[in-house]
Amino acid sequence: MLALEGLTKDLGENFSLGPFDYEFAPGSCTVFIGSSGCGKSTLLRLVIGLLDPDAGRIILDGREIRAADFEEARLRMGYVIQDGGLFPHLSARQNIALMAEHLAWSKSRRQERLIELCALTRFPESALERFPAQLSGGQRQRVSLMRALMLDPDFLLLDEPLGALDPIIRFELQEELASIFRDLGKTVLLVTHDLAEAGFFADQIVLMRGGQTLQKGSLADLIERPEDEFVSRFVSAQRGLRGS
């Protein structure tokens, strides 16, 4: 179980995140959405320990994660950053297995896990020796996902994982990601700016503005029962959700 209690971060220039409270149900997918700069990516960085909160607590399985605990906690979290974040000088195989090698997994164990992940993500094993520049956009995203899944984490944090892809590849990967979420039963925290994509993935959507939560709920809740004028404007700006 992962929970955030009163999480706050001052980012300067009159912007702060929180205080933010949320409890992530095991096996659920929570999608954070909002305009650029609303704090949704910052929230993921706080959860995984790349930023330190100014106040509040991150609770993992009933225990507060303190600064000294994050190295261990991160091993239970797979993280896909914007644009994938692959190391260009490493092959797909090396990118995926980086942490497993650091943790001294045996070669046979790494290979067995790689084969499992290739099957899961429909990535061709023959492409494992290619470098990121030799892969298509969709293949690079699959490699990023496999790297996040390599250690079989309990939690998946994905920051705009499909944002840079063309519409057809994005549609295909949405279907594959949804299938992976269902099959693995991981607790997923996903950031996107696309409300339709949020509705496709989410068990619950969290719409943010200026570091604050404006509304939580389903896509239908946001469309039919907006709790703030900005929610209505945000929904109206997303083409296709009202038949436009």
Domain membership of residue 104 (yes or no) is no
Residue at 38 is within a domain: yes
Taking 70 as the threshold, does the pLDDT of residue 141 lie above it? Answer: yes
| Residue 89 resides in a domain | no
Average pLDDT score over the chain: 92
- Residue 205, domain member (yes or no): yes
pLDDT band for position 240 (cuts 50, 70, 90): low
pLDDT at 244: 41
pLDDT tens, 34-54?
988 899 999 999 999 999 999
pLDDT for the residue 241: 59
What's residue 243's pLDDT?
46
Using a pLDDT cut of 70, give the percent of the chain over it: 97
For residue 170, tell me if it sits in a domain.
no
Confidence band, pLDDT 50/70/90 cuts, at residue 11 = confident
Q: pTM of the full predicted structure?
A: 0.92
Q: Would residue 135 count as lying in a domain?
A: no
Domain range enclosing 209: 1-76+189-244
Q: Tell me the pLDDT tens digit for each residue of 222-231.
A: 999 999 999 9
Judge whether 5 lies within some domain: yes
- Residue 132: inside a domain, yes or no? no
Tell me the CATH number at 61. 3.40.50.300
Number of domains in the chain: 1
From residue 213, alpha-carbon distances to 22, 54, 161, 229 in Å are 10, 18, 22, 13
